[in-house]
Amino acid sequence: MTHQRILHLLRHGQANAEVTIQGWVRTKRELKDFSFVEVNDGSALANLQVILEPTLPDYSNLLSRLNTGASLQVSGILVLSPGQGQRIELKAQQVEVFGEADPATYPLQKKRHSFEFLRTIGHLRARTNTLGAVMRVRNACAAAIHQFFQERGFLWVHTPIITASDCEGAGELFSVTTLDLHKIPRNPDQSVDFKQDFFGKQAYLTVSGQLEAEIMALAFQNVYTFGPTFRAENSNTSRHLAEFWMVEPEMAFCDLEGDQNLAEEFLKYLFKSVLAACPEDMEFFNQRIDNTVLATADQIIHQEFARITYTEAIQLLEKAPKSFEYPVAWGVDLQSEHERYLAEEVFKRPMIVTDYPAEIKAFYMRLNDDQKTVAAMDILVPKIGEIIGGSQREERWEILEKRIQAQGMNPEDLWWYLDLRRFGTVPHAGFGLGFERIVQFMTGMANIRDVIPFPRTPLNAEF
């Protein structure tokens, strides 16, 4: 008999059905006449309660082997549960233990562990309730992302991970090289001779798939890329990772307003889908992690996002009845304390801020008619701050070349990007959603390191 998943049995299992399950022991309770083990197989937050009766062969030896963390297969009969908390349970007829877990050394004994501690056992923490729920929500959210774009005819394009360009121009790049770091080849002027490197030029891990997504949008109209991106920013915060996943749609024949509309529709869709796919997990987050999770989801789905310009945002911040660590003035970039004040205290809901000063935004954003601001948009949400960054792209060749130069970059390095503006250029726009930030926002998890299986942060690349 093939085995069944616990999620399926908890939802649909019928009394008297003969089933086989496989999983790991979460807890064991030994009573006088029989015992319970709670088994989890990762398919659901809830465990399946298994009843072990002394008539089982080698009963007491079996019980001694079934400690928290042990792996097993159980075949038996489903029975309606007389106890509270579960609809059905499994009366064991045959139990096979695959691997024991020594109670003296297995780190996940039945008690609450801090998330800091769990990060030190990244190879085991996926077996906890919280990390399990996070990973199921993460999976449901990823599936919904594809569904959203596929339903709308967007082409999923695979943009490269290794690249020679710095899309954001922020210099936060990890180098990719095969040069011998102990014998670096030098040019006569002592600079590194990258012509001898693997790609014949300096290469990096990508910070964003946007530039290549633009190439594809100018052939397929609507595309998206969804993959890992890398930033060597040395910021040890609860919202930054050195390796994170980003979703980046890019639309030809689209302006900043269309971009904002799509982003808002997208976030609403993701929340709806995850609530439908993972109701128990979302309920768990609301009960155990952050009691505003379900209210926030409801608000995202049903309320319109606030929309203001950067200039209006600065005016609101200048009028704020509180002082900020980073002073506010027109021209400064919004810091996370500013973003959170606006989203949490002024608007109390997600908001879209548009038209930022050209100097503080990337070279590719379209210059507005005022010549001072660009057609940028950031979506800010309570608790997280920026969750989406996007813009209408500069489609005019002369202006784009000037913007590249003004940012201290060399237009020759971006010859192909400029070429797109020479051959069949169109207004186009797109945005990037930080995948871990949306999972964090949905689940209420305080630290971004706990919403990705294996976080990469400064001084940390274990597991």
Residues contributing to the site for ligand 4AD (CB under 6 A): 167-168, 208, 210, 231, 233, 240-241, 244, 246, 248, 386-391, 430-432, 434, 436-437
Shortest reach from residue 229's CB to ligand 4AD, in Å: 7
Nearer to Mg ion, 136 or 240 (CB): 240
- List, as one string, the DSSP characters of 177-201: --S-TTS--B-TTSSB-GGGSTTSS
Please give the structure tokens belonging to residue 264.
Answer: 């808002």
Q: Which does 10 bind (CB under 5 to 8 A by kind): ligand 4AD, Mg ion, none?
A: none
Rounded CA separation 136/7 (Å):
12
Give the dihedral of Cα atoms 205, 211, 217, 218; nearest 10 deg: -140
Q: What track of x and - describes contact with Mg ion for positions 395 through 424 (by CB under 5 A)?
A: ------------------------------
- Rounded distance, CA 368 to CA 457, Å? 36
Q: Which partner from the list ligand 4AD, Mg ion, none does 167 bind, CB cut-off 5 to 8 Å by kind?
A: ligand 4AD
Considering the complex, state which of residue 238 and residue 287 has its C-beta at the smaller distance from ligand 4AD: 238
| 55 three-class SS | coil
In whole angstroms, give the CA distance from residue 98 to residue 139. Answer: 27
Nearer to ligand 4AD, 268 or 437 (CB): 437
| Residue 421 binding result from Mg ion, ligand 4AD, none, given CB thresholds of 5 to 8 Å by partner type | none
Nearer to ligand 4AD by C-beta: 26 or 240? 240
CA distance 353 to 364: 18
443 binds, among Mg ion, ligand 4AD, none (CB under 5 to 8 A by kind): none
β strands within 358-420, DSSP E: 373-381, 385-392
* Among positions 382, 385, 389, 434, the unique one binding Mg ion when judged by CB under 5 A: 389
Residue 430's binding partner, choosing from ligand 4AD, Mg ion, none, with beta-carbon cut-off 5 to 8 A by kind?
ligand 4AD
Question: 324: which DSSP letter?
Answer: -
Closer residue to Mg ion in complex, CB, 118/256: 256
Please count the residues of the chain.
463
DSSP 340-390: HIIIIIISSS-EEEEEEEGGGS-TTBPBPTTSSEEEEEEEEETTTEEEEEE
CA 211 to chain centroid, in Å, comes to 21
Residue 390 contacts Mg ion per CB under 5 A: no
Contacting residues for 190 by C-beta, under 8 A, at least 6 apart: none
The secondary structure of residue 409, as a DSSP letter, is: -
- Is residue 434 close enough to count as binding Mg ion by CB under 5 A? no
Here's the x/- map for Mg ion, 303-342, by CB under 5 A: it reads as ----------------------------------------
Q: How far is the CB of 451 from ligand 4AD (least distance, A)?
A: 10
Q: 132 vs 389, which CB is nearer to Mg ion?
A: 389
Contact residues for Mg ion, defined by CB under 5 A: 389
